[in-house]
């Protein structure tokens, strides 16, 4: 683990960098080398790589237990690594930061916009040693005991994700393009999923109600963030600290409908152009049941597949503390809130 010591109100502040060695290109790993070089004057600096699925969660729990709010854990990886670390510190005072090194880096798009990884490292002060990491409380989604920082999705999304994961494992140079290629491969086959939805929704007038319905659907995304799948943005208006999940669900599509819908879905406007097919709702919690006893629902949280017959989920307002330097994308992603050191 890399520990950077800086002053926080007269106390020592520690930054722990957890790196997924399987994430990122050669260019990204060169940035990591620069970061390490810039911090060599700190005698307490060390690095550790995750070694197996779930390892980042174990490390995060240990760091939080030992250091509490005197620690910031920097996730050096993609959305999956981010989600693993978040699962280890949800509800604690330990803060989380993100240095995007994955293939899609979708949550990074939400909070950093088009900034490059080098610009992000410079924004934090990781390359100069003058670290700038104010902290803001943000939300997350809990789904079947898993913490989701960015987007939870069901149906064709997860089928495509599984294909994309296989492609990136075999052909890592594909990067975010792997998801787009997986779409082409994934749309041939069954495009519908039958499920029962029980959703606790917020209406336009601010009232809440529980809506129950059965639906044969192709795509369903529940966003704390906005982007998933290497840049698809079905929930473009989402805020990461408003206590609301932005749900976008598309009824079962035929193969011939997909070309006309998918581009608009990826831009977050399909519910405006095709309101009879795509629906947006603001949700705070819910339950989703597979209507086939033999077939579990295909679902993923932050790119980690978690198939199940039933999904029980809810928003956890202020469940995480995010360390992030001030930038235009982060300001747009959050409702106005006071940042703390």
Q: Give tens-digit pLDDT for 190-241.
A: 788 999 999 999 999 999 999 999 999 998 999 999 998 778 899 999 999 9
**109-135 average pLDDT score:** 90
Of the spans 17-21, 227-231, 258-262, 315-319, which averages the highest pLDDT? Answer: 315-319
- pLDDT of 27: 78
Q: What is the CATH number of domain 147-317?
A: 2.60.200.40
With a cut of 50, say whether residue 328 has pLDDT above it: yes
Distance CA 287, CA 244 (A): 16
With a cut of 80, say whether residue 306 has pLDDT above it: yes
pLDDT tens readout for residues 56-92: 999 999 999 999 998 999 999 888 889 999 999 999 9
Q: What angle do CA 318, 158, 214 make, to 5 degrees?
A: 80
With a cut of 50, say whether residue 4 has pLDDT above it: no
Measured in degrees and rounded to the nearest 5, phi and psi for residue 301 equal: -120, 120
With a cut of 50, say whether residue 6 has pLDDT above it: no
With a cut of 60, say whether residue 184 has pLDDT above it: yes
For helices 79-89 and 55-67, angle between their N-to-C axes, nearest 10 degrees: 40
The residue that leads in pLDDT, 172 or 299, is 299
Domain ranges of the chain: 2-134+324-333, 147-317
Confidence of residue 171 (pLDDT cuts 50, 70, 90): confident
Residue 287's alpha-carbon distances to 153, 223, 228, 304, 309, in angstroms, are 13, 15, 21, 19, 11
* Rg of the chain taking only CA atoms, in angstroms: 20
Confidence of residue 11 (pLDDT cuts 50, 70, 90): very low
Residue whose pair of structure tokens reads 């911090």 in the numeric block: 39
- pLDDT of 74: 92
Confidence of residue 111 (pLDDT cuts 50, 70, 90): very high
CB 320 within 8 A of CB 87: no
- pLDDT of 2: 41
CATH 3.40.50.10330 fits 2-134+324-333, yes or no: yes
- pLDDT of 316: 97
Distance CA 324, CA 293 (A): 44
The residue that leads in pLDDT, 46 or 125, is 125
Q: Where are the alpha helices (DSSP H) in 189-269?
A: 258-267
The length of the chain, given as a count of residues? 341
């Amino acid at each position: 683990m890399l520990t950077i010591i800086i002053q926080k109100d007269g106390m020592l502040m520690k930054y722990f960098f957890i790196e997924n060695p399987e994430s990122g290109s050669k260019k990204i790993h060169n940035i990591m080398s620069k970061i390490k070089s810039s911090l060599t004057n700190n005698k307490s600096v060390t690095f550790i790589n995750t070694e197996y699925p779930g390892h980042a969660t174990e490390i995060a729990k240990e760091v939080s237990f030992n250091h509490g709010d005197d620690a910031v854990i920097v996730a050096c990886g993609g959305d999956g690594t981010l989600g693993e670390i978040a699962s280890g510190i949800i509800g604690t005072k330990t803060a989380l930061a993100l240095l995007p090194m994955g293939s899609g880096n979708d949550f990074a798009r939400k909070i950093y916009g088009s900034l490059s990884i080098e610009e992000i490292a410079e924004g934090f002060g990781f390359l100069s040693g003058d670290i700038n990491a104010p902290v803001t409380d943000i939300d997350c989604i809990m789904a079947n005991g898993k913490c989701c920082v960015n987007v939870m999705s069901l149906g064709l999304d997860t089928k495509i994700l599984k294909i994309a994961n296989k492609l990136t494992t075999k052909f890592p140079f594909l990067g975010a393009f792997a998801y787009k290629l997986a779409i082409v491969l994934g749309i041939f086959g069954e495009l519908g999923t039958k499920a029962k939805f029980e959703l606790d929704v917020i209406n336009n007038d601010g009232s809440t109600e529980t809506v129950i319905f059965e639906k044969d659907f192709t795509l369903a995304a529940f966003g704390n963030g906005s982007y998933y799948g290497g840049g698809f943005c079905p929930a473009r208006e989402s805020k990461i600290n408003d206590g609301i999940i932005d749900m976008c669900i598309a009824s079962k599509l035929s193969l011939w409908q997909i070309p006309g819908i998918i581009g608009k879905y990826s831009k977050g406007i399909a519910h405006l152009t095709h309101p009879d097919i795509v629906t947006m709702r603001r949700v705070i919690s819910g339950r989703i049941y597979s209507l086939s006893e033999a077939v579990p629902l295909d679902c993923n949280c932050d790119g980690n597949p978690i198939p199940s017959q039933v999904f029980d989920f809810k928003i956890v307002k202020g469940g995480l503390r995010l360390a992030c330097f001030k930038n235009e994308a982060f300001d747009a992603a959050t409702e106005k809130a006071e940042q703390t050191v």
